[in-house]
Amino acid sequence: MPRCPYCTSIKSSFLKESARHHCNTCNTHYSVMVGTPFHHTHVGLEKWFLLINLLINTDTQYSSRQVAKIINVNKNTACRMIKRINVALLNMDHRKLLSEIASYDR
């Protein structure tokens, strides 16, 4: 059961039509992406996971242009995604999540 990122309650209802959760304690709506590096992004998760795999499982340094070409996004989008992942790697909880994502494909 997901935990509300605002009040930490586990009392929530899933809203099928919007694919979000409604907290029955503080009466807010939230997505499971809240509090993760993928929050507030329109890029599909498959592209995020591909980029995470590229950055964590290879020793190669990729430029924003190379990443943009590989995952089929704009150069500026690739740059923001790389920055967001690098910041997330500094946070131990996010580092664990990203490592699990990168190792999942194996």
| Domain spans, the chain | 1-34, 45-104
Q: Which helix (H) or strand (E) holds 12?
A: strand 12-15
* Confidence category of residue 105, pLDDT binned at 50, 70, 90: low
More confidently predicted of 82 and 35:
82
* Confidence category of residue 103, pLDDT binned at 50, 70, 90: confident
In this predicted structure, the answer to whether residue 106 has a pLDDT above a threshold of 70 is: no
Query: What pTM does this model have?
Result: 0.76
Backbone angles phi and psi of 12, in degrees to 5: -145, 160
Residues 8-52 have pLDDT tens digits of: 899 999 988 888 899 999 999 888 888 888 888 889 999 999 999
In this predicted structure, the answer to whether residue 76 has a pLDDT above a threshold of 90 is: yes
